[in-house]
Every structure is written in structure tokens, then in C-alpha cells.
Amino acid sequence: MSRRSSISQPASLFSAQPYTVRLVSLGCAKNLVDAEVMCGSLATHGICLTTDAEVADLTLINTCGFIQSARDEAERAIEDAIRWKKSGRFKGLVRRVVVGGCLAQRSAPEYAARYPEVDCFIGIDDAPHIHEIVLRLARKTSSGAPEILVNAATPTWLYDDTAPRIQVTPPSYAYVKIAEGCNHRCAFCAIPGIRGNLRSRAPESVLAECRQLLANGVRELNLIAQDTTAYGFDFQPRQELSALLRQIDALPGEFWVRVLYTHPLHLTREFLEILNGGKHLAPYLDVPLQHIADPVLRSMRRGMTGEKTRSLLRGIREHYPDLVIRTTFMTGYPGETDEAFQELLDFVREMKFDRLGAFAFSPEPGTPAALIHDGLVSQAVAEERRKELLELQKGISLLRNRAFVGKSMRVLVEERVRKGIWAARGTADAPEVDPRVMIHLSNGQRLEPGRFTTVQITQADDYDLVARLLS
């Protein structure tokens, strides 16, 4: 694991060999940042980190609980960890399992009853104190009923630049969480109930973290939050994301800044101007729209109508034609008729989004959408619609990619895929979710990860681009 900043390693607190933790982090980049902070907390208190289950004394699972598929993944990870724990008994080992993250914050009592073999369930606010929990469990000589440390109140924790943190992403890019929580109350979303209300980090703290990351070789700063464009709304007086972006954009060096997870209600002209013309800002707009049909948007409580959405997107296309637009849609939401889905398909055909993701509706316990009984769409139909939407986008993506053939492109080199082929990303490609540029090297050509270079696009696939290195 690479470190974000210099971390002093105290002598082990254990007389024999250091206690060792394996951390499994699931879900989004926002969850990953929490995992990195937990890694920092553990490492600075003499606890070793490993990816090897066989040498670990404790498995810590940082779960996601946003939708059913995420809960299914978390449950599989918990069951794998329980099997790992039990297998240690045959070797005379005392192994522990700790479960944290969104799933634990939301449903710890339920999962404690379901998985009594788990030693401890922790909440979001326990992340900065994880070392204390692990050290206490390490000293226990017996197992009992699972401990539930989750506070019933909504979380209030928000890390800052002074928190020890170990960067587990590739060295070339990192995520900077500028805010936590959300004040929106979309009918389908459980996140506000899990993560709490909006709380923004001080600009000075965000800038300090950005400077640390750049000094350690990071070349792409990805700003994240539940709604990045709501950053500063909780300050007195209220501030805007644009002001923070100007300060980050003024930092010296060669790097990109990418803004993820925006909300269409908060896309101001000022924000779009700096996104389109900043020195370091990637001209990349990540704006989940969820749907276009008015009845669905109203029921979702998105605060947008179909006409407002169309007007917004057409204006962006007209005034900022170079902005890459990525969006996400939901299929199968209650009340999504065949006509509403057809309207969504027509909208996607019209807008020809550069990047598009889709997921099928999942009724989340405790949300208003889970209580809707009229106009229900079967899971099979929701999934079929999701696939149809992605198939439509596949053709759009191919046409857009073909327009790059023969053109040069500045890219950030990531890793060698195999001999003679390296993967890189352009400003249109966010890490982990978007396609990549595959660079084919000629004899004698070399590349290094974490460096910018210029390539010429030679071939277009449905999603990835193929390129050659320019001298």
C-alpha cells in the first residue's frame, strides 16, 4: 500500500509479533476514503496491514449498503470472513471479524442476529478510533455475542487533513472527500439516513490535503461527496464549490482536478465556467439525472422536471460543447410505464451522453419509495430495461469514440496491462468507472505509471480507445 504522507511507525504494542489486519473495502470511492483513514489509524498505532488472509489476525469489512446488490456483496464478504475465522481454529489461531461501513451503520442489530460469529459491528463515527477497537479485540481471550458499537444517532464524523491516511489507490490518482452527508431527500435513497446531513470540510483543510497528495506524486485529484455541488451550503455565510475550485486550480504543478457526484439543481454558470476553462480542471461533468419522465421525477423527489433537465443539458451542449457529460439513470422505478421508459430512451438518443451508467431500482427499507405499491415494476423488467438502455449507450459510445481516431490526446499513464500495452486515461475518463486508452508501444518505447504523455488514437472500440505513443 502506498502512503499519502509520512507516517511514523511506533514500535509494536505486542510482545511477540505485530497484530495484523486485513481490510476489505466495498462500494464507492467515498467509502474507500473512510477505509484509507482506518488504515492510517491502524498503521500509526503499530498494527500491521495485509492483503493476505492467511497471515491476518483480524478481518475488517467496510461495507456498502446503498442498494440490494451492494448488500448482497457485503453479505458474501461477511460469510467469507466467518469461514476464514472458523478455519483458524483448526490451526490454533484466534481470529476476529469486524464489520463497519454503511451496512453496519444502517442495520447492525439485524446483521448481528444473522451473523453471531462477527465479533463487532462499528458505525461511521468509529472509523477514526478503529485502532482502539482492534487493540481491545486483540486482547480478548474469548468470543461472545457480537458487540454493537453503532450509535443510533446519525453520524457526525468528517475527516480532515491531519488524519493519518494510507492511499490504497494507484499512486497516480487519489480521492479527496470535500463533504459528507446529504441534505437531499430523494425518495429512493437511504444515504441521508445512513451518513447524516451535509457537513463540508474547511477550505484550508481540503487545500492542505491536495498539497500533500501532489507532493507525494498524485497527478489526479478526484473531488467527491454525496453532492459535491452542495459543498459550502452549510457554512455561515454560505459558500460555493466554485470558490474552492479556484483555490485548488491555483496550486502549482502538472495535475488534473476532477469533480464527481454533482447534482443538476446546483449546476451554476459559475461552476460550469471554471469546469470548462480551469487550468487544471478536467472538462468532465458527472451529473446523475436518474430519469427524464415527469411522473417518475416527481415521485423520486428530485426537484427537477423533464423540461428543466432538457433545458439544462441543451444549454450545456450549446455553451460548453467540450464538456464531457457522464450521467446515471435508474430503471424500473415504481410508476415507470412503458411510455416513461421510451421517453428515457428518446432522451438518451437526443443527448448522446459521453458516459452513461444505469442501475435497476431497489426498494430500500425506510425510504418513501419502498412504500409505493402502485405501478410496481418487476425486477425482471427493470433489469431488462437497464440492459436495453446500456445497449443503446454502447452504440452512442462507439460513434463518439470513432470521432477521436487520428487525433492526439493527452493521457495519464496508469499501468502495464501486458508486454507492450499500457493503460492510460484521458480527461474524459474517470478512474474505475470509465473506459481507458490502451497504448501499444513500439520496440524501444517506454512508459512509467503516473506520468502524462501524448498519444495518437488509432482505433475505437465500443468503449476503450487504442493509441500509439507520439515521440
pLDDT at 11 over 50: no
Q: Per-residue pLDDT averaged across 37-52, rounded?
A: 96
Let me know whether 190 and 318 are in one domain: yes
| % of the chain exceeding 70 in pLDDT | 96
Q: Does a structural domain hold residue 353?
A: yes
pLDDT, tens digit, for every residue of 420-465?
A: 999 999 999 999 999 999 999 998 899 999 999 999 999 999 999 9
In a domain, 12, yes or no: no
Q: Taking residues 114-143, what's their average pLDDT?
A: 92
pLDDT tens digits for range 137-158: 998 877 777 888 887 788 999 9
Give the model's pLDDT for residue 68. Answer: 87
- Specify whether 143 is located in the same domain as 178: no
421 and 438 both lie in a single domain:
yes
Question: Which region among 6-20, 298-312, 339-353 has the lowest average model confidence (pLDDT)?
Answer: 6-20
In a domain, 32, yes or no: yes
Same domain as 245, residue 187: yes
- Residue 103 belongs to some domain of the structure: yes
Give tens-digit pLDDT for 25-43: 999 999 999 999 999 999 9
| CATH code, domain with 436 | 2.40.50.140
**Whole-model pTM?**
0.92
pLDDT at 12 over 50: no
| For residues 409-422, average pLDDT | 95
Statement: residue 20 has pLDDT above 60? yes
- Which range marks the domain in which residue 381 is found? 173-402
Together in a domain, 305 and 194: yes
- Residue 373: inside a domain, yes or no? yes
Listed residues 376, 402, 428: the one ending a domain: 402
8 or 104: which leads in pLDDT: 104
84 assigned to some structural domain: yes
The proportion of the chain whose per-residue pLDDT surpasses 90, expressed as a percent, equals 88
Q: Give mean pLDDT, residues 245-262.
A: 98
Mean pLDDT, the chain, as a whole number? Answer: 93
The CA-CA-CA angle for residues 216, 218, 220, to 5°, reads 160
pLDDT digits (tens, 9 = 90+) for 197-245: 999 999 999 999 999 999 999 999 999 999 999 999 999 999 999 999 9
Section 277-287 average pLDDT: 97
What is the number of domains present in the chain? 3
End-of-domain residue from the set 377, 402, 427: 402
374-395 pLDDT per residue, tens: 999 999 999 999 999 999 999 9
Shared-domain flag, residues 237 and 386: yes
Same domain as 369, residue 306: yes
Average pLDDT of the residues in 115-135: 95
Positive or negative: CA dihedral 363, 368, 373, 374: negative
